[in-house]
Chain A
Amino acid sequence: MSSLTVSSVYKKRKSYTWLYFLLPSIAIMLVFFIYPILLTFFYSFTNLALTGEAAKELKFVGFDNYVRMFHDPTVRVSIWNTLIFLIGSAVIGQQVLGFIIALLMKHKNRLFRRIIGTIVLAGWVTPEIVCALCLYSFFGDEGTLNAILSFVGISDVTWLYTVPMLTIILANIWHGTAFSMLVFQAALDDVPTEIEEAAVVDGASRLQILFRITIPYIKDTILTNMMLVTLQTLGVFGLIYAMTGGGPGTSTTTLPIFMYNQAFVNYQLGYGTAISLLLLLLGIVLSLFYIRSMKEQ
């Protein structure tokens, strides 16, 4: 009886009231989110420029920017650099290191966990630009690393110029590992100890437990984390710009840096927006790949 009235009330209310509640957020989304995206999309088909004749009148140039992109060798270099940076610093660096730290900290003394956790978190809470300056002065010609190495007799190495990609990868690992560590800590805490104990009773080695039980158990978390870290890393700009400026040459020019250079150094805003859409596409492709593999398990 009572259930019937509840459902009828529910049915009556099922008009469009929900829409009114959603309207403010939809409006905000449209203005600050959908509109800029559409605008970016539109500008990528124009000759929008910061200065020069093109800045005076906006012209529709069709697929010119995209054609130019396919013929531009620097685009290929930038995509390549972006992928190396992504795999090196996000997929391998932050994920693996974060996982290892989280794993090693499991079941450890609380004080120990707290101290180590705080140290790792320091990198995460440091603003990107401060982090870049810290690591710049660490890797710089007269930096900390060279000062330390001089004690063991290794003379000055110009880290930022001989191995620029490695320095920015290490910088991003230093900056971002804490995030993965936190995610994995939470996930590992959820792995039931009973299963692990049962495995021990069955005579499984620690490595077997890790690869047969722990990792499969948190696979979803790994993929979600992978996706989040990937998206964060794709957008990294300040860190690289401040440390190497994309150089020397184009050796650390990732897509965001290349986009900035085209838009604000070469004054070609239209071309810059086209590159930003390429970046977006790359992110979508990578993420769909992760989602797919999440689904397939």
Chain B
Amino acid sequence: MVKGKKKWLLGSTALFCALTVAMAGCSSGSGGTKTAEPGTDTTTTTTTGNTDSSGEGTAKTKTTISITYRDDGIGEKGTFYKWLKELSESYPNKDVEIKPTPIQASEGDYFAKVALALKSKDTAPDIVTEDTFILNSDASAGYLEPLDDKVKAWEDWTNGSFIEAMKKGVTASDGKVYGVPYNTDSRGLWYNKEIFKQAGLPEDWQPKTWDDVLNAARTIKEKTKDVVPIWMNMGKATGEATSMQTYEMLLYGTGERLYDNDTSKWIIKSQGIIDALTFIQTVNKEKLGPPLSKVLNGQAGNTASREYLPKGKLAISLDGSWITGNYFDTGAAPWPEYKDVLGFAPMPTSKGQDPGSITLAGGWALSIPSNAQHKDEAWDFIKYALNKDNTKKLVIASGNITVRADVAKDPEYTAQPFNGIATEYLQHAEFRPAQDKYPEVSTQIQTMVESVATGTSPADAAKKYAQDVTRIVGEDHIVEK
């Protein structure tokens, strides 16, 4: 009996050990594979940092500045990579070597990988590209270096070369500047004029309400074959694209907001939320949208802009102004005819109420991590990289909108198709809440949108969203409308 008990005890301890090994294996498997890249990327660069070895007195000390950005899988064909390569050749200070250290990840994973890399001196790059939605969070976490002193001494920053409103995007809730913006964007309805013509719809399409949009989609479904009427990102895998291009464009179009600035509270319940979700439900219920198997994975954004739209398999796409960057000769999916085939209509408000159309603006910035090794050299490079000429090269090559007033007036820039309209939309532009909880709330939005797309009712999804957001921001920071 005693022996049996002992055996049992021994067995269970052995088991506990075996189990924890399994768990450890599991957790390192999940975390490890996902986070390995930024680490390896940047450690290689930091080792090539200062090579002031005494033996080679004749060789000048060369400082390596590593720049981390997101590579969505196209590697050296990417615009950002090519732009960096060009800059590193033209950069006057030859004692500095510019080293691209991309993180190859889906949009959602990029931010987690960056956060992990920024945590340690061993893995932090010297410059990092930050989406303005997460900049505030990363700044609150102490990952980024405040640049106030540096920007004050920079003529371009103080003489009005940068559009004043764009500085808001890089200013965190503590009032300090944590990055220099290099692009912004607007969102709207891209549509294929050829398909519209085929379906008997106006080629100069100007929808006034959501119903106009839905009716156009219905007509297309009826009159054409093998064409997806309307594409919106609706999955968790597409991350911020789902929150911003789809949900927030709809929600803000109802007149509601995510966050109430007056009371400093998150709005967890409103008619606007239900209306926005109902729109998504309608699109899926009537099969006006893309097949779920295509839209719920991380490649959905690229599938729409690089495959479906150019091939004439998609009529309307609710997407960002930057997608034209794909169609340049140097882009990921060259399509010279896009200028004539595509139209870019503003996204109407739900019932056509003022201001008539809506867009959200985001954008990216260059920041210096607190754990960076060569902060001064990094700052010098940022000043060079984001001067008028170099910013212009980047925004033109990538199809983005500039944040610099001087570039906005440049004839070469204004000659780009759609740049004029996209910039015009910015007049009514709304920004995402500059709150450090926003990224977390945003993932709840994605969960909510995906659940509606897969059949949950708007009311149920909204209820779960309200619970989740309450849990994240706390009972004191919520309001119902």
Q: Is B115 an interface residue (CB 8 A)?
A: yes
Question: Quick check: B20 and A50 within 8 Å, CB to CB?
Answer: no
CB-CB under 8 A from A250, the residues of chain B are: 451
The answer on a CB contact under 8 Å between A158 and B293 is: yes
B19 contacts A by Cβ under 8 Å: yes
Contact at B143–A51, with CB atoms within 8 Å? yes
Do A235 and B292 have beta carbons less than 8 Å apart? no
B1-36 contacts to A, CB under 8 A, are 4, 7-8, 11-12, 15-27, 29-31, 33-35
Which A residue sits closest to B452, measured CB to CB? A249
Check B318 for interface membership: any CB of A closer than 8 A: no
* B292 in contact with A283 (CB, 8 Å): no
Interface of chain A residues 240 through 297 with chain B (CB within 8 A):
241, 245, 247-251, 256, 259-260, 263-268, 276, 279-280, 283-284, 287-288, 291, 295
In this complex, the member of B22, B138, B450, B464 whose beta carbon has the largest number of chain A beta carbons within 10 angstroms is B22
Q: Which of B182-190, B262-270, B435-443 interfaces with chain A?
A: B435-443
Shortest beta-carbon distance from B207 to chain A in Å:
29
**How far is A287 from B235 in the complex, measured between Cα atoms in Å?**
36
Asked if residues B31 and A235 are in contact (CB atoms below 8 Å), the reply is no
Interface hit among A52-60, A80-88, A116-124, A200-208: A52-60
Q: Is A147 an interface residue (CB 8 A)?
A: no
Beyond A231-B18, A266-B443, A295-B8, is A73–B464 a contact (Cβ under 8 Å)? yes
Number of interface residues of A (CB under 8 A): 54
One digit per residue, 1 when the CB lies within 8 angstroms of any chain A CB and 0 when it does not, for chain B 161-173 equals: 0000000000000
* B156 adjacent to chain A (CB < 8 Å): no
Nearest A residue to B112, CB-CB: A264
List of A residues within 8 angstroms of B15 by Cβ: 227, 284, 287-288, 291
Q: A260 to B26, alpha carbons, bound, how many Å?
A: 10
28 contacts between A and B (CB under 8 A): A37-B20, A49-B141, A50-B141, A51-B143, A52-B436, A52-B440, A54-B141, A55-B140, A73-B464, A141-B294, A158-B293, A161-B291, A245-B237, A247-B235, A247-B236, A247-B296, A247-B450, A248-B296, A248-B453, A249-B455, A249-B456, A251-B454, A264-B34, A267-B112, A268-B440, A283-B19, A287-B15, A295-B4
Known: A50-B116, A284-B15. 16 other contacts (CB 8 A): A33-B20, A56-B142, A73-B464, A141-B294, A160-B293, A232-B22, A234-B22, A235-B25, A247-B450, A256-B30, A263-B31, A264-B112, A267-B440, A287-B15, A288-B12, A295-B8
